[in-house]
């Protein structure tokens, strides 16, 4: 009997915070309300071929709903602009424009970033199964690709953040390589 | 020798049969070459070659509209799959993933022969360290991610270097995995036909195939529509317009004129005889053009409608005028006047023969031959066939009424002079706005078609190839070497920011000498292994992981040099074919330039290329120059034609006063017609100019009868009636052309149609009182 009560309390203890807990809908609503801003980033790529990670740093800016600019400063200056369905990359006086549909790998990255930043749950769920954990102050959104074309490239995407601010994105690729993007917002825009 | 009527008829029939046989064998064309210069400069020759044989002339743009993005993409994929089967198309691009794989494989396989970065320094310890360091840095970027798997094979990044030189870096937008318009509402495809752009039949077959396959693919669902554009479609549409117009205009003109003739002759037999010179003239005109030019332009045949109106005149004069006085008297009294009229027409059309605008030269030869033949048949064949029986309508009452009208017309002299002065003042004050400054004014492509083309072109980012650099060589190798040499000049311009980039056939098919030089720079595998160990000491990349690179290098050292055949099955092969041309005068390479945001400064570029033997061509400037040349030439021709008519009339009339009396109404008619056209909103181009000349050349036929009347015999009512009828038929003939959608025909019609009638009217107004009694 005591055990049952204890178990019931335990259940309640587990479920009570859960019902009041932060859910995907809330997260998405918060993210969607975020209209943009600037941030510094550090991106580390762990590549099996290399003995050390490749590190890139720079600035990002986002304006809702579909423009993202990533300005890499080191090791080589590079500007990547995602505008609707086009990615243009400027590097070493060369400008390359890619239409996303030709690059399923790139599309997978882009959809995950864009969907998260814009709080577009439908877009995310089209390609990924979503799992949210943590609190509103410190949430972790795990995305598992449901489309085989994407899962052939990416095994898992983990986005971390606080409230409506994304603070980190980690990609685990199918070949075991991974990339960790750390974002530090520049406040007072 | 006196020939009997039957013999003359048989001879005529025989000549007609021979003519018909030649026409049967003739090649008819409705393509752009009507407009292309007969004696091109070197720059214009490039323009001509590009329009006739260039790859751009073989591109067709396709847009699929209707349904949602997924449905359109499915149609696009299915259409591509259908079109790929069969020999009609060299390439069908719709942006599908995987469609560029063959190109990438080729570049990867041959990167050490193709990469301009290959040099002796590339494979030294320092060179390797720098190149591999760059590649590792590149892994930090998304571009690098795509190339990560290639790092062990291509650590120096040759493929990246090659891909960077490909295309303009601008791809069309994309929806659901295939190319789409900028607004995303249409799926886009770009195809290149196997047949030349100048092969209108082939283009038509290709276009029909696309339409058929699309209909099959969409199952005829009206929700989905197909839009096509491109030079081939323009050619096919223009031809369809011209063919339908030739039939339509000739029919209208013939019916109207036959109606007039039936009214006049009241005899089917006379009508038949009266049409004899017309048919002979039209046939002879085509025969002459076919023999002289090899190809007959559709527009030339369309001009037949006007020729009918003009050449029927001679038979009218003959029947009406000889009716009272008999054949011999007609020959004596009227033939010299008719002959002089024929000669002025011949002069008018004849100057066109000297035109460098082949279409104009053909029109001239066609009309000239037609008029002369019609006159000769009237003079020598008709009298034999018609003998002396003329049960035709008595035109005397009509003539008498005309006489009465003309007697009262002189009151209009001052008003006409004032009108002409006002018209002249208008033309002088508006002289800057009179002319249409563009060659497209002559193009039969409709404004709607042209708008569709612009829209599709913008959606696809299709190259407009405005700027080109041309180099020549005696063989393929020397031409490719020349292209490489000029490419080094252009690299400098790219670095200086004067141009955004350029394409070159040598990029995918380097000269044999460049290829073997690059091959000679590739060190042996053991050598590279040692250098790598040193170069990569502090690198995150271990040298031991680069064995695939060493294997590829060893293969590259043994590779046979690339030839054009190795590029088969790739878009790169098509690019080389488009840019490396083998013509009658040897080989040439085209290097299209990509401008920066602003237009390219021709002067700067020519200076940069000075001494390299390369020719810089701005297609737009060339087109405008071409049109300007035509216009200048047309002015010159018109003035020479006018001068020649003056000389001819002056020599025959032998009196400045008589000459002035003949010319005054003609010149007034020209001024009034041109001012009228301007007020009606017509922008003038060179065919209007030619039309002015024809007003003088053709209109003088009628003015001359008044001159003749004044000089000796007065003007009897029958002759007056015949003049009116002849003018009416000529005006109908030319006026019919005004209905044409083909600007060339329209301009001549709208000028000469009213002009010819006005010439007669003004001649009647200015004829001295009492002359026509």
The pLDDT value recorded for residue A110 is 77
CB-closest option in A47, A102, A109 to B174: A102
Look at residue B104 in the predicted model and tell me its pLDDT. Answer: 82
Interface of B with A in 706-745 (CB under 8 A): none
| Beta-bridge mates of residue B61 | B190, B229
CA-based nearest distance A79→chain B, Å = 9
Handedness of CA B350, B351, B353, B357 (dihedral sign): negative
Give the pLDDT confidence score for residue B291 in this predicted structure.
Answer: 92
CB B488 within 8 A of CB B591: no
Please indicate whether, in this complex, the C-beta atoms of A72 and B141 are within 8 angstroms of each other: yes
User: CATH no. for residue A138?
Assistant: 2.50.20.10
Q: Which helix (H) or strand (E) element contains residue B77?
A: helix B69-84
ipTM (interface pTM): 0.71
**pLDDT tens digit sequence for B635-656:** 899 999 999 999 999 998 888 9
Residue B541 to residue A87, Cβ atoms within 8 A: no
Mutate to test the interface with A, among B136, B152, B174 (most CBs of A within 10 A): B174
**CA closest to A45 among chain B residues:** B140
Substitution target from B98, B141, B537, B538 for chain A, most A beta carbons within 10 A: B141
Question: Which pLDDT score is estimated for B284?
Answer: 93
- pTM here is 0.75
Subunit contact B146:A80, Cβ cutoff 8 A:
no
Residues in A whose CB is inside 8 Å of some CB of B read 43, 45, 47, 49-56, 72, 75-76, 78, 80, 85-87, 89, 91, 94-106, 109, 177
Q: Which residue of B has its CA nearest to A93?
A: B495
Please report residues of A whose CB lies closer than 8 A to that of B546. none
pLDDT above 90 covers what percent of chain B? Answer: 22
Count of CB contacts below 8 A, A vs B? 89
Q: What DSSP line would sit under B211-274, residue for residue? A: HHHHHHHHTT-TT-EEEEESHHHHHHHHHHHHHHHHHHHHHHHHHHHHHHHHHHH--HHHHHHH
The answer to whether B497 contacts chain A (CB < 8 Å) is: no
Q: Does B488 touch chain A (CB under 8 A)?
A: no
Instruction: Quote the minimal CA–CA distance from B44 to chain A in Å.
Output: 33
Among B100, B169, B174, select the one facing A95 at the smallest CB separation: B169
**Partner-chain contact A102 B97, CB within 8 Å:** yes
Q: Worst-scoring range by mean pLDDT, A11-15, B48-52, B419-423?
A: A11-15
Q: Tens digits of per-residue pLDDT, B225-261? A: 999 998 889 888 888 888 888 888 888 988 998 998 8
Task: Give the closest-approach CA distance of A116 to chain B in angstroms.
Answer: 19
Q: Which of A75, A87, A104, A109 is the best substitution to test chain B (most B C-beta atoms within 10 A)? A: A75
- Closest CB from B95, B141, B173 relative to A89: B141
Task: Show residues of chain A in contact with B136, CB under 8 Å.
Answer: 50, 54
**For chain A, where are the alpha helices, taking DSSP H only?**
2-20, 24-33, 104-117, 121-127, 148-151
pLDDT at A189 over 50: no
pLDDT tens digit sequence for A113-157: 888 888 888 888 888 888 888 888 888 989 888 877 778 878 888
Q: Does residue A4 lie within any of the structural domains?
A: no
Query: Rounded to 10 degrees, what is the CA torsion of B285, B289, B291, B297?
Result: -130
* Lowest mean pLDDT across A20-34, A120-134, B327-341, B681-695: A20-34
Q: Does B621 touch chain A (CB under 8 A)?
A: no
Would you call B183 helix, strand, or coil by DSSP? Answer: coil
Spatial separation of the C-alpha atoms in residues B564 and B558, rounded to whole Å: 18
- Domain assignment present for residue A11? The answer is no
Q: Is residue A135 domain-resident?
A: yes
Q: Is residue A30 part of a domain?
A: yes
> How crowded is the C-beta side of B355, counted as CA atoms within 13 Å?
33
**Beta-sheet pairing, B89-93 with B225-229:** unpaired
Tell me, yes or no, if B523 comes closer than 8 A to chain A by beta carbon: no
**CA of B591, closest CA in chain A: separation in Å?**
19
List the one residue out of B2, B7, B23 whose CA is nearest residue B280: B23
**Which pLDDT score, from 0 to 100, does residue B189 have?**
92
**Domain assignment present for A12:** no
DSSP B431-443: TTTSB---GGGG-
Confidence band of B372 (pLDDT split at 50, 70, 90): very high
Q: How far apart (Å, rounded) are the C-alpha atoms in residues B284 and B282?
A: 6
Rounded Cα distance between B241 and B236, Å, is 9
Tell me, what's the pLDDT at B481?
92
Question: Tokens at residue B547, please?
Answer: 């064995």
pLDDT at A185 (0 to 100): 84
In the prediction, which pLDDT does A8 show?
A: 53
Q: What residues of B are in contact with residue A49 (Cβ under 8 Å)?
A: 148, 151-152, 541, 545
B151/A101 Cβ within 8 A: no
Least confident of B192-196, B435-439, B690-694, B731-735: B435-439
Contact B169 A94 (CB under 8 A): yes
Interface of B with A in 91-110 (CB under 8 A): 95, 97, 100
* Angstrom distance (rounded) from CA B705 to CA B695: 16
CB spacing of A51 vs B540 below 8 angstroms: yes
Q: Within an 8 Å CB–CB cutoff, is residue B139 touching chain A?
A: yes
Whether B69 has its CB under 8 Å from any CB of chain A: the answer is no
Q: Give the mean pLDDT of chain A.
A: 78
Four-point Cα dihedral B309, B315, B321, B322, nearest 10: 180
pLDDT tens digits for range B65-108: 988 888 999 999 999 999 988 888 988 888 887 777 788 888 88
From the CA of B427, how many Å to the nearest CA of chain A?
A: 53
Whether residue A6 is contained in a domain is answered as: no
Asked if A101 lies within 8 A of B136 by C-beta distance, the reply is: no
Nearest CA in chain A to B497: A93
Q: Count how many domains chain A has.
A: 1
Residues on chain A touching B143 (C-beta within 8 angstroms): 89, 91, 96
Task: Give the closest residue to B695 by CA, choosing from B348, B342, B435, B364.
Answer: B348
Domain range spanning residue A36?
22-186
């Amino acid at each position: 009997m005591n055990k049952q009560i204890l178990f019931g309390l335990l259940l309640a203890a587990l479920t009570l915070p859960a019902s009041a807990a932060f859910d995907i809908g809330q997260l998405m609503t918060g993210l969607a309300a975020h209209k943009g801003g600037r941030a510094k980033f550090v991106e580390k790529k762990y590549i099996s071929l290399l003995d050390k990670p490749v590190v890139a740093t720079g600035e990002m800016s986002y304006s809702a709903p579909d423009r993202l600019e990533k300005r890499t400063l080191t090791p080589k200056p590079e500007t990547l602009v995602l505008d609707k369905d086009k990615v243009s990359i400027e590097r070493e006086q060369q400008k390359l424009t890619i239409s996303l549909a030709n690059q399923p790998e790139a599309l997978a990255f882009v959809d995950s970033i864009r969907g998260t930043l814009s709080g577009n749950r439908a877009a995310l769920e089209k390609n990924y199964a979503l799992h949210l954990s943590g609190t509103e102050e410190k949430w972790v959104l795990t995305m598992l690709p449901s489309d085989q074309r994407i899962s052939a490239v990416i095994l898992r995407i983990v986005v971390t953040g606080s409230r409506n601010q994304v603070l980190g994105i980690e990609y685990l690729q199918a070949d075991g390589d991974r990339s960790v993007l750390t974002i530090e917002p520049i406040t007072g825009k | 020798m006196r020939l009997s009527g039957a013999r003359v008829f048989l001879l005529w029939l025989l000549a007609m049969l021979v003519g018909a046989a030649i026409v049967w064998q003739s090649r008819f064309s409705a393509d752009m070459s009507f407009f292309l210069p007969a004696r091109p400069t070197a720059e214009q020759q490039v323009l001509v070659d590009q329009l006739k044989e260039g790859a751009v002339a073989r591109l067709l743009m396709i847009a699929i509209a209707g349904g949602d993005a997924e449905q359109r993409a499915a149609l696009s994929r299915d259409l591509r799959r259908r079109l790929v089967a069969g020999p009609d198309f060299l390439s069908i691009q719709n942006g599908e993933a995987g469609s560029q794989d063959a190109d990438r494989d080729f570049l990867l396989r041959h990167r050490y022969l193709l990469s301009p970065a290959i040099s002796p320094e590339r494979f030294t310890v320092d060179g390797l360290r720098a190149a591999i360091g760059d590649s590792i840095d590149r892994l930090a970027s998304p571009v690098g991610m795509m190339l990560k798997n290639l790092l062990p094979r291509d650590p120096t990044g040759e493929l990246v270097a090659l891909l960077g030189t490909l295309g303009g870096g601008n791809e069309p937008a994309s929806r659901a995995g295939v190319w789409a318009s900028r607004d995303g509402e249409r799926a886009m495809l770009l195809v290149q036909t196997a047949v030349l752009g100048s092969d209108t039949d082939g283009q038509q077959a290709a276009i029909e195939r696309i339409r058929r396959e699309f209909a099959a693919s969409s199952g005829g669902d009206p929700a989905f529509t197909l839009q096509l554009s491109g030079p081939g479609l323009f050619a096919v549409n223009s031809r369809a317009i011209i063919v339908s117009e030739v039939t339509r205009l000739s029919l209208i003109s013939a019916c109207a004129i036959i109606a007039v003739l039936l009214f006049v002759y009241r005899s089917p037999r006379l009508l038949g005889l009266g049409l004899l010179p017309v048919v002979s003239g039209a046939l002879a005109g085509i025969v002459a053009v076919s023999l002289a030019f090899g190809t007959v332009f559709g527009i030339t045949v369309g001009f037949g409608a006007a020729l009918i109106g003009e050449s029927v005149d001679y038979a009218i004069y003959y029947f009406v005028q000889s009716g009272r006085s008999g054949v011999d008297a007609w020959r004596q009294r009227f033939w010299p006047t008719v002959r002089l009229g024929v000669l002025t027409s011949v002069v008018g059309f004849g100057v066109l023969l000297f035109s460098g605008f082949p279409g104009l030269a053909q029109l001239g030869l066609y009309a000239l031959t037609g008029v002369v033949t019609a006159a000769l048949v009237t003079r020598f064949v008709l009298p034999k066939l018609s003998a002396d029986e003329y049960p035709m309508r008595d035109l005397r009452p009509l003539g008498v009424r005309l006489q009465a009208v003309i007697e009262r017309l002189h009151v209009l002299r001052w008003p006409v002079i004032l009108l002409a002065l006002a018209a002249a003042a208008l033309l002088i004050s508006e002289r800057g706005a009179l002319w249409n400054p563009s060659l497209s004014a002559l193009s039969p492509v409709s404004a709607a078609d042209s708008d569709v083309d612009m829209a599709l072109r913008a959606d696809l980012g299709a190259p407009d190839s405005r700027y080109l650099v041309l180099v020549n060589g005696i063989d393929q190798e020397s031409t490719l070497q020349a292209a490489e040499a000029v490419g080094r000049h252009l690299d400098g311009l790219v670095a200086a920011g004067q141009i955004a980039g350029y394409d070159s056939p040598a990029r995918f098919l380097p000269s044999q000498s460049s290829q073997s030089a690059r091959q000679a720079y590739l060190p042996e595998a053991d050598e590279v292994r040692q250098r790598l160990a040193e170069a990569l000491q502090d690198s995150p990349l271990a040298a031991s992981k680069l064995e695939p690179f060493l294997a590829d290098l060893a293969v590259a050292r043994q590779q046979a040099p690339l030839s054009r055949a190795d590029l088969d099955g790739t878009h790169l092969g098509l690019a080389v074919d488009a840019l490396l041309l083998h013509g009658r005068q040897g080989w040439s390479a085209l290097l299209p330039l990509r401008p920066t945001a602003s237009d390219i400064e021709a002067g700067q570029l020519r200076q940069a290329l000075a001494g390299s033997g390369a020719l810089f061509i701005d297609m737009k400037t060339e087109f405008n120059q071409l049109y300007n040349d035509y216009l200048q030439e047309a002015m010159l021709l018109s003035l020479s034609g006018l001068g020649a008519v003056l000389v001819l009339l002056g020599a025959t009339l032998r009196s400045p006063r008589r000459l002035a009396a003949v010319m005054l109404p003609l010149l007034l008619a020209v001024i009034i017609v041109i001012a009228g056209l301007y007020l009606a909103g017509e922008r003038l181009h060179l065919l209007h100019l030619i039309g002015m000349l024809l007003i003088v050349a053709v209109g003088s036929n009628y003015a001359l009868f008044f001159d003749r009347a004044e000089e000796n015999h007065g003007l009897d009512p029958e002759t007056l009636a015949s003049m009116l009828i002849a003018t009416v038929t000529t005006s109908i003939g030319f006026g019919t052309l005004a209905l044409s959608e083909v600007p060339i025909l329209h301009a001549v019609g709208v000028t000469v149609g009213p002009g010819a009638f006005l010439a007669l009217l003004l001649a009647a107004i200015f004829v001295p009182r009492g002359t026509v009694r």
